[in-house]
Amino acid sequence: MLAHLRNWAAYTQLADGLEIGTSTLYRHVSEAVDVPAAEAIADAATALTTQHRVGQAVIT
């Protein structure tokens, strides 16, 4: 995944370089992105809930 982000390489190029199929590469990239995204959403929800409990206004 880092190779893709750093070099903007096509999935086919990365898959060939790693000697794996493009489907496998796509799955690995998707899984690598899903975990931090889910954590960021959970952190944002926690922050909003905390702000709401202490009576702070939330700017949208």
Provide the pLDDT for residue 1.
Answer: 53
Angstrom distance (rounded) from CA 46 to CA 52: 10
Residue ranges covered by each domain of the chain: 2-53
pLDDT in tens, 6-60: 665 788 888 888 899 989 988 888 887 777 777 787 778 777 777 777 776 656 5
pLDDT top residue among 1 and 34? 34
pTM of this structure: 0.47
Query: Over the range 21-46, which residues count as b (16 or more CB within 10 Å of their CB) and which as e?
Result: eeeebeeeeeeeeeeeeeeeeeeeee
Provide the pLDDT for residue 21.
Answer: 92
